[in-house]
Amino acid sequence: MRSLFILIVSIIILDFVKSKDIIIVGAGISGISAARILINGGHNVTVLEARNRVGGRIHTVEVNNNKVDLGASWIHKDNDNHPIYKLAEKFNLKTKEIASSYKVFTKNDQNERIEVNSSLLDEKYEEYIQLIKSLASDSSKLSSNISVYDYLKNKNLLKSITENKFNGFFLSRTEIDFSASFKSLSAKLTGKRFTKSSDKNENGEKTPVLIFPNGYLDIVSNLIKGVGKEKVVKVSLEKVVTNVTVKDKVSVKTKDGSSYTGDYVIITIPLGVLKNDTITFNPPISEKKRDAINSVGFGTLNKAYLEFKVPFPDNETHIYYFMQNKFQNRNYFNDFYNLGRWIDKSAFMSLSPSTEDQNSEEIDDTSITESCLTRLSIIFNKSIVELKESWNSTIRTRWQADEFSQGSFSYPQVGTTLEDYEELRRSHQKYVLFAGEHTSNQNYGTVQGGYNSGVKAACEIDKKLCSTSSAPVFKIPLVLISSIKIEE
């Protein structure tokens, strides 16, 4: 039995010797997912976060005792193995499905309020699909330098889109998904999405859309806390990384003068920040990686949260849309998610991407509130005066102006190739790794893309931690092994 004891101790010592010191830059979903797996694997992890909070673009705030998500909001549960859904199950987090109940309103030529019935909407949508179906079939053959706008123009389809408010409305659904205008989107990489409903999977089956009534931040908080005897992920806040140097070890310096040394560093900052060279790499990153950083787009999707003092008469519908008559106004705060369905307040969340056509960040708070109240007055057939009396407050986001994100999420802009995503993920000098939703060519722009990228980075450092499918294997920490009794 003594020899067995020596063998086990030797294995433990061997594992201990192999443990690495790893620095992770960023405490968003990708940084925290990497940290959780590496810590569970017995490695020493230091997480540096520039903000005074964790979560990154997952940003839950408390408003009058209710949790409101100003960043990531929902899960498109396209299969039962969706990683964020699996985490929600593991942490016993409450989720709620956003039902497909919605209403669309517009104004006719006489400026009269019209509710668009579902059969007409279905008919117009089918006409829209027939109009642009060639975009999906031609996309793989197109040059990466052709935008969706250019394609439609070359096919003499542009007027049919811009001069028909139904087609403009349908086009805007996809633009919001990408947080970018069709003038910026690569026809080659996004063409198929314009003929596919975002609430259906590849088989045409409805995809449940789930939200967290208590806030998306619960996912990050629980990953940090861990379950059972998992060690807590320790995060150092307000640590703005300025330099990363690779010599014998990896050295990281922060704006406040602090220095950190490790065997590896994982960079998980958003692509918008990478584009602005806020971190100096020594040796410098390759020209190929620099080109990839510039090539992939980074869009902005802003939100406006409006709270009211009294309930609205219809509290059964989940989403209200206002269909604009003018094409240039198609994306400007026309979607209203009825938060009163899952929080204890009468409130709506509206969305608007910032594009070359209209930058919502340049518009002041009062104008945004008035625009939203105008839309809601049409939707609910109420006077502006009545709504202003009922209105309580507005919270709006400016993700582009946020120095630690400089946008919302990545998208394939004109000139982007799939190889660019691979290059963004590729390590620098072997010991500098990269993660984030922008490194995923399958799930860019999503929380699951960010989570999976953190898992992949952790696996690249220690392949023992993950199976061939890159799913994390939560091994027994070494400290627990020491409690096992060995009889001589």
In sequence order, what are the residues at sequence separation of 6 or more whose Cβ sits closer than 8 angstroms to the Cβ of residue 190? Answer: 139, 148, 174, 178, 411, 412
Of 295, 290, 342, 291, which is closest to residue 318 (Cα–Cα)? 342
Q: Check residue 208 and give left, alpha or beta (phi > 0: left; psi -120 to 50: alpha).
A: beta
- DSSP E strands in 309-431: the ranges are 319-322, 335-338, 346-354, 391-396, 409-411
- Whether 50 has a binding-site annotation, put simply, is yes
Single-letter residue type at 219 = I
- Whether 49 has a binding-site annotation, put simply, is yes
Single-letter residue type at 426 = R
Helix axes 83-90, 217-225, angle to 10 degrees: 60
**Assigned token pair, 375:** 């839309």
**Assigned token pair, 357:** 């056509």
> Bridge-partner residues for 96, per DSSP?
211
CB 150 within 8 A of CB 272: no
How far is the C-alpha of 266 from the C-alpha of 453, rounded, in Å? 11
Helix axes 287-295, 418-425, angle to 10 degrees: 120
* DSSP letter assigned to residue 64: T
3-state secondary structure of 220: helix
CB 135 within 8 A of CB 191: yes
Of 20, 16, 11, 40, which is closest to residue 461 (Cα–Cα)? 20
- Whether 241 has a binding-site annotation, put simply, is yes
The pairing of strands 102-107 and 241-246 is unpaired
Of 179, 209, 219, which is closest to residue 83 (Cα–Cα)? 219
Peptide bond into 283 cis (omega under 30): yes
How far does Cα 19 stand from its chain's mean position? 32
CB 49 within 8 A of CB 185: no
Cα four-point dihedral sign 340, 343, 347, 351: negative
Could you give the count of Cα atoms lying within 13 Å of 340 in the half-sphere of its Cβ?
20
Which residues are known binding-site members?
A: 30, 49-50, 241
Which residues are known binding-site members for FAD?
A: 30, 49-50
Which residues are known binding-site members for substrate?
A: 241
